[in-house]
Structure 1
């Protein structure tokens, strides 16, 4: 029997949207037969800033038991899915800081050939969602990773906006994911594709 693909779903979320994406990705990855680990990158914001935003503070407290991501989580995985909010058209600083601590693993070639994919959210459709995902992929090009973008591999992706780089969603003023059912399906498609491609790579490397 072939060894299971190891998938790490690594996210940052302030008010819960990207945590929801990560949970959906974990469910879909497990359904596709992968061994999935869901972890969050460390929070950098001061507690005073978090407490000043009720939604942020509530999510912070609700996810206190979610394991914190380490670089080993990436090293040990075959596939990686990142979910992070858009901040002024680029990834949130918490995720960037996490990547910035990966120099040692990168220097030893331990991040090469990882199959990677990314997703994001913003408050409006043109708030830099595509740019955010592409900024994550820029990092991963330096690793020598293999990007498993969803592209237009499934017609259902169009219902969630048809972002070929990775699932993205807009968030309403009350913090709800617009078109949540379609977004969930798109996340599932992307997660299954990541597991599938990681399986091909894993088999090839071990063959």
Structure 2
């Protein structure tokens, strides 16, 4: 029996919405039989800024023991799902800083031919969820990765209307994540794991043939 496909869920979250989506993506990948690493990226904000927002401080304290992503985690993975809140319609600096550390792996071609996807949260209804995911996916194209967005490939995607990746509008913490959005995230995890397993099986078949 072949070993399970390996999925890294790598995200940044300040007050917890993106973290909750990351957990759902990881659940979905595990449901599909994947071995999953749930990983946060390092916090860059000063302690004073974090302390000024009670929700930020609370979440920051709650994830202290969660592993911090390293380039080695991406080398390990068959598939990577990135998560970020939006910052002016773009990727949060904490996740972008992590992406910028991957030049060594990129130069060796070790980020190529993996499956990638993403998810996002915003404070406002139209705060750049699509533009943030599209900006995030620029890195995937440079990696030579295989982008596997959820699209409209499952009924839940018609309910949430987020073909680029699961997304949530949290209204500064006033809007809880809906079960439909959580299921969209779980579906993305399952889809990414399934496609990654199919690709690996196909590569193995070519080698054996």
- Describe the shift of the 1:44–1:5 C-alpha distance in structure 2 as closer, same or farther (beyond 3 A): same
- Mind listing any 5+ residue stretches in structure 1 that lack a counterpart? none
Q: Distance in 2 between matches of 1:129 and 1:109?
A: 29
Number of the residue aligned with 2:164: 165
Q: Distance in 2 between matches of 1:107 and 1:28?
A: 31
- Mind listing any 5+ residue stretches in structure 2 that lack a counterpart? none
Q: Distance in 2 between matches of 1:72 and 1:98?
A: 12
- Cα deviation 1:45-88 (Å, max 9, x = unaligned): 01110011100000000100000000011111001111110110
- Name the count of aligned residue pairs: 205
RMSD of Structure 2 on Structure 1 (CA):
1.0
Number of the residue aligned with 1:154: 154
Number of the residue aligned with 2:183: 185
SS in 2 for 1:195: helix
- Cα deviation 1:94-149 (Å, max 9, x = unaligned): 00000000000000000001100100010122111001001111011000000000
Q: Distance in 2 between matches of 1:109 and 1:31?
A: 30
Q: Distance in 2 between matches of 1:154 and 1:28?
A: 14
SS in 2 for 1:186: helix
What displacement does 1:27 show?
Answer: 1.2
Q: Distance in 2 between matches of 1:3 and 1:69?
A: 22
